[in-house]
Amino acid sequence: MSIAELTIADTAPSDGMDAVRAWVDDIAALTRPDEIVWCDGSLGEADRLTKQLVAEGKLIRLNPEWRPNSFLARTDPGDVARVEDRTFICSEDEADAGPTNNWREPAAMRAELRDVFAGSMRGRTMYVVPFSMGPVGGPISQVGIQLTDSAYVAVSLGMMTRVTETVLDLIAAGQEWVPTVHSVGFPLVDADGTRHDDVAWPCSTTKYIVQFPETREVWSYGSGYGGNAILAKKCFALRIASVMARDEGWLAEHMLIVKVTSPEGRVFHFAAAFPSACGKTNLAMLQPSIPGWTVETIGDDIAWLRQGPDGRLRAINPEAGFFGVAPGTGETTNRTAVETLWGNTIFTNVALRDDGDVWWEGLTDEPPAHLIDWEGKDWTPGSGRPAAHPNSRFTVSAAQCPSIADDWDAFDGVPIDAILFGGRRATNVPLVAQARDWRHGVFIGATISSERTAAAEGTVGELRRDPFAMLPFCGYNMADHWAHWLEMGERLGEHAPAVFQVNWFRTGDDGRFLWPGFSENARVIEWIARRVEGSAGSVSTPIGQLPVVEELDLDGLDLPEEDVAALFEVDPQSWLAECDLTDEFFARFGTRVPAALRAELASLRYHLRA
- What's the pLDDT score for residue 455? 38
Q: Decide if 48 is inside a domain.
A: yes
| Per-residue pLDDT tens over the stretch 319-333 | 999 999 999 999 988
Selection from 267, 258, 209 nearest residue 87 by Cα: 209
**Shared domain check, 136 and 87:** yes
- What's the pLDDT score for residue 463? 83
Rg (CA), the chain: 24
- Choose the weakest-confidence range: 44-53, 151-160, 164-173, 203-212: 203-212
281 among annotated binding-site residues: yes
278 among annotated binding-site residues: yes
234 among annotated binding-site residues: yes
Alpha carbon distance 606, 600 (integer Å):
10
DSSP 430: -
- What's the pLDDT score for residue 194? 82
- What's the pLDDT score for residue 6? 47
- What's the pLDDT score for residue 456? 42
Mean pLDDT of 265-280: 93
- Planar angle of CA 390, 158, 64, nearest 5 degrees: 65
| Per-residue pLDDT tens over the stretch 11-28 | 444 568 999 999 999 999
78 among annotated binding-site residues: no
For residue 311, the SS3 value is coil
Mean pLDDT of 251-268: 98
Q: Decide if 282 is inside a domain.
A: yes
Q: What percent of the chain has pLDDT over 70?
A: 95
pLDDT of residue 538 exceeding 60: yes
**Shared domain check, 273 and 420:** yes
Q: State the CATH number of the domain containing residue 555.
A: 3.90.228.20
**Shared domain check, 464 and 416:** yes
Q: Decide if 1 is inside a domain.
A: no
pLDDT of residue 95 exceeding 80: yes
Last-in-domain residue among 400, 434, 449? 400
Q: State the CATH number of the domain containing residue 332.
A: 2.170.8.10
Mean pLDDT of 371-383: 97
**Shared domain check, 487 and 369:** no
Whether the Cβ atoms of residue 59 and residue 50 lie closer than 8 Å to each other: yes
207 among annotated binding-site residues: no
| Per-residue pLDDT tens over the stretch 468-484 | 999 999 999 999 999 99
Mean pLDDT of the chain, nearest integer: 94
CA quadruple 118, 53, 24, 132: dihedral, nearest 10: -130
Q: Model-level pTM?
A: 0.95
Last-in-domain residue among 353, 376, 400? 400
Mean pLDDT of 209-222: 98
Of residues 577 and 199, more confidence is placed in 577
- What's the pLDDT score for residue 16? 86
**Shared domain check, 422 and 282:** yes
519 among annotated binding-site residues: yes
Selection from 92, 112, 89 nearest residue 7 by Cα: 112
Whether the Cβ atoms of residue 417 and residue 259 lie closer than 8 Å to each other: no
**Shared domain check, 439 and 386:** no
- What's the pLDDT score for residue 461? 62
Alpha carbon distance 272, 259 (integer Å):
12
301 among annotated binding-site residues: yes
**Shared domain check, 426 and 288:** yes
Q: Which residues of 21-36 are buried (b: 16+ CB within 10 A; e: fewer)?
A: ebbbebbbebbbbeee
Q: Which pairs with CB-CB distance under 8 Å and at least 24 residues apart come from 55-60? A: 56/200, 57/200, 58/151, 58/152, 58/200, 58/201, 59/152, 59/346, 60/352
Q: Decide if 63 is inside a domain.
A: no
Q: State the CATH number of the domain containing residue 145.
A: 3.40.449.10
pLDDT of residue 584 exceeding 90: yes
279 among annotated binding-site residues: yes
393 among annotated binding-site residues: yes
Whether the Cβ atoms of residue 415 and residue 141 lie closer than 8 Å to each other: no
Q: How confident is the model at residue 5 (pLDDT cuts 50, 70, 90)?
A: very low
User: In which domain, by residue range, is 352 found?
Assistant: 321-400
Q: What percent of the chain has pLDDT over 90?
A: 88
Selection from 466, 477, 442, 450 nearest residue 590 by Cα: 477
Residue of 278, 401, 474, 579 marked catalytic: 278
**Shared domain check, 512 and 443:** yes
- Planar angle of CA 90, 96, 98, nearest 5 degrees: 95
**Shared domain check, 414 and 538:** yes
| Per-residue pLDDT tens over the stretch 335-370 | 999 999 999 999 999 999 999 999 999 999 999 999
Q: Decide if 265 is inside a domain.
A: yes
Selection from 72, 68, 84, 66 nearest residue 387 by Cα: 72
| Per-residue pLDDT tens over the stretch 480-523 | 999 999 999 999 999 999 999 999 999 999 999 999 999 999 99
pLDDT of residue 585 exceeding 90: yes
Alpha carbon distance 437, 433 (integer Å):
12
48 among annotated binding-site residues: no
Last-in-domain residue among 219, 249, 279? 249
- What's the pLDDT score for residue 191? 80
Q: Decide if 257 is inside a domain.
A: yes
The total of structural domains in the chain comes to 3
Neighbours of 7 (CB within 10 A): 13
125 among annotated binding-site residues: no
pLDDT of residue 408 exceeding 90: yes
Alpha carbon distance 448, 585 (integer Å):
11
Whether the Cβ atoms of residue 190 and residue 261 lie closer than 8 Å to each other: no
Q: Which residues pair with 261 in a beta bridge?
A: 267, 294
DSSP secondary structure of 161-227: SEE-THHHHHHHTT--EEEEEEE-S--SB-TTS-B-TT-SS---S--EEEEETTTTEEEEES--SHH
Of residues 98 and 276, more confidence is placed in 98
Q: How confident is the model at residue 196 (pLDDT cuts 50, 70, 90)?
A: confident
**SS (HEC) of 330-381:** CCCCCHHHHHHCCCCEEEECCEEECCCCEECCCCCCCCCCCEECCCCCEECC
280 among annotated binding-site residues: yes
Active site residue 278: yes
Q: Decide if 65 is inside a domain.
A: no
pLDDT of residue 200 exceeding 90: no
pLDDT of residue 7 exceeding 60: no
276 among annotated binding-site residues: yes
pLDDT of residue 187 exceeding 60: yes
344 among annotated binding-site residues: no
**Shared domain check, 558 and 423:** yes
**Shared domain check, 297 and 177:** no
Q: How confident is the model at residue 198 (pLDDT cuts 50, 70, 90)?
A: low
Selection from 55, 37, 181, 30 nearest residue 115 by Cα: 30
**Shared domain check, 287 and 163:** no
Q: Decide if 66 is inside a domain.
A: no
312 among annotated binding-site residues: no
| Per-residue pLDDT tens over the stretch 446-461 | 999 998 644 344 555 6
Q: Which residues pair with 542 in a beta bridge?
A: none
**Separation in Å, CA 170 to CA 75, 174, 516:** 35, 7, 49
